[in-house]
C-alpha cells in the first residue's frame, strides 16, 4: 500500500508541473546551447540546466500550498511520512536525472561537436570538467535543498522565498568568485595518491545522511502542522 501511495504521489507531482518545467528547461537549454557555441565550450550548460530545473521544482510546493493539498491528503488517509518521502524522491530524482542528462550532453558537445567544428584541443579535458561540475553542483545544491525543503513545509513557499534565494545565489557567487584559485590549489596536491574510493564513499554517506535528516525534520514539521 505504501509503495502504491508513493507512486501515486509522484504521478501527482509530475502532472502538476510537467508543462511548466518542460518549458522552463527548454528555454534554458536553447539559451545555453547558443552560448556554448559562441564560447566554444559547454562549461555552463550543466550547471544552468540543473539550476533551472531546481527552481522549477519549487513549483511543486507552491501548487500544494495554493490548493491546500496536504490537508486534503490527510483526509485521504495519507501519512506525513508518505507525503514527504514522495516529495524528496521527486526532487532529488529529478535533480539526479538532470545532472546525468546535462553532463552527457556536455560530453557530446565537447567531443563530437566542438572538437570537429572548432578543433578544440582540450575537448576531452573540458568534457571531464563538465562531468565533475555536474556532480559537484548536484551535491552542493542538493545540500542547499535539504536546508530549504523543511522551510517550505514550515513557512510555505512565499515566506521561504528569501532564504531560498540566498541558498541558491550565495553558493553560486562563492563558486564563481573562487574558481580561479582551484587550479593552483589542485596543482599542489598529489591527486593520484588520494584514497578516492574512500573519499567518494564518505561524501555519498554524508550526503545521504543529510537528506535523511532533512526528510525526518520535514515529516515532523508536517505532522505537527495544523492543516
Q: Is the pLDDT of residue 173 over 90?
A: no
Separation between Cα atoms, residue 69 and residue 61, nearest integer Å: 10
Q: What would the grid cell of residue 56 be?
A: 522549477
Sequence-distant (6+) residues with CB within 8 A of 147 are 167, 214
The domain ranges of the chain are 2-179+192-224
Separation between Cα atoms, residue 120 and residue 113, nearest integer Å: 10
Q: Is the pLDDT of residue 1 over 70?
A: no
Q: What pLDDT, in 10s, does the model give residues 82-129? A: 999 999 999 999 999 988 888 888 888 878 887 787 776 677 777 777
196-224 vs 80-109: helix crossing angle, rounded to 10: 140
Is 91 in contact with 149 (CB distance < 8 Å)?
yes
Q: What pLDDT, in 10s, does the model give residues 205-227? A: 999 999 999 999 999 999 988 65
Amino acid at each position: 500500500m505504501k509503495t502504491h501511495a508513493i507512486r501515486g504521489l509522484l504521478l501527482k507531482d509530475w502532472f502538476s508541473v510537467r508543462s511548466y518545467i518542460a518549458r522552463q528547461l527548454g528555454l534554458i537549454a536553447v539559451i545555453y546551447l547558443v552560448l556554448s557555441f559562441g564560447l566554444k565550450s559547454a562549461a555552463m550548460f550543466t550547471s544552468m540546466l540543473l539550476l533551472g530545473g531546481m527552481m522549477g521544482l519549487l513549483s511543486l510546493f507552491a501548487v500544494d500550498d495554493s490548493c491546500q493539498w496536504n490537508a486534503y491528503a490527510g483526509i485521504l488517509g495519507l501519512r506525513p511520512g508518505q507525503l514527504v518521502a514522495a516529495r524528496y524522491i521527486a526532487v532529488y530524482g529529478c535533480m539526479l536525472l538532470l545532472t546525468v542528462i546535462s553532463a552527457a550532453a556536455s560530453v557530446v558537445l565537447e567531443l563530437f561537436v566542438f572538437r570537429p567544428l572548432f578543433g578544440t584541443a582540450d575537448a576531452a579535458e573540458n568534457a571531464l570538467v563538465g562531468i565533475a561540475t555536474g556532480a559537484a553542483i548536484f551535491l552542493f545544491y542538493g545540500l542547499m535543498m535539504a536546508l530549504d525543503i523543511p522551510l517550505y513545509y514550515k513557512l510555505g513557499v512565499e515566506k521561504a522565498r528569501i532564504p531560498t534565494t540566498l541558498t541558491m545565489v550565495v553558493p553560486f557567487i562563492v563558486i564563481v568568485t573562487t574558481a580561479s584559485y582551484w587550479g593552483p590549489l589542485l596543482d599542489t596536491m598529489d591527486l593520484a595518491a588520494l584514497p578516492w574510493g574512500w573519499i567518494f564513499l564518505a561524501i555519498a554517506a554524508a550526503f545521504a545522511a543529510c537528506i535523511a535528516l532533512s526528510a525526518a525534520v520535514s515529516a515532523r514539521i508536517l505532522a505537527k502542522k495544523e492543516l
